[in-house]
Amino acid sequence: MVIFVADTILYVMAKQNISVSKEEVELSEAAELYCEDKVLLAKANALKIHRFREGQPPRVVISMLKIIKELDALSPGLTVESLGETDIIIEKASLQKDKSENKKSVWAYIKLVFVALVCFFGSGFTIMSFHNDIAIADIFSRVYELVTGEASDGYTALEISYSIGLAAGIIIFYNHIGGKRLTSDPTPLEVEMRNYERDVNQAIVEMADRQHLEESVKREE
């Protein structure tokens, strides 16, 4: 069914990356839409933009330009205002992989413990290597002797206060203590993860463009 409209504007705010569990993906799942014409809005929301088929990759990239062409074919004369991303990455989620019991499996806890140990000992080794490079023990010993006039035994107020300050500084920097957040600001790790996700999404889009793997939108009559 084709809807003819005039002087109607459809606003589309596309998402950068979505994960779906069903075979057919509608435009409403990949973008937020607004239009004063409620009938047209419902048609646009229900527009099928991709169908996952057996044997095909579980991830596709769809250009907003192709979606706009399908919207124009659905409603000739429609003005589409794209406010979001220029490309949409759609990934087929694995229901078996995402089950809650799989997330709480023994293997998941083993991986968690392994990563925690690597981070703990890796960070400790890095800190010790840095201290060794700058000879911090000699510096503390020399400062203690200059201030007190006594020889340092290696366990003075300088070492104790430095250790406490180092731990406090790490907690404040990462904005976490245990499972609690100190402030509402995102932590440095969260910022880096968002930057990493953005870089990965950009790389996926560029690879799809180079390899001509972008999917065309299949409109069902």
pLDDT, tens digit, 9 for 90 and up, residues 187-199: 888 888 889 988 9
Long-range contacts of 193-201 (CB under 8 A, 24+ apart): 197/17, 198/16, 201/16, 201/17, 201/89
Q: Where are the domains of the chain?
A: 9-98, 100-209
* Fold of the CATH domain 9-98: eubacterium ventriosum atcc fold (2.60.480)
Mean pLDDT of all residues in 12-26: 90
pTM of the model: 0.65
Diameter of the chain by CA atoms?
93
pLDDT band at 161 (very low <50, low <70, confident <90, very high): very high
Residue 134 main-chain phi, psi, to 5 deg: -95, 5
Q: Which of 208, 218, 220, 211 is nearest to 17 (CA)?
A: 208
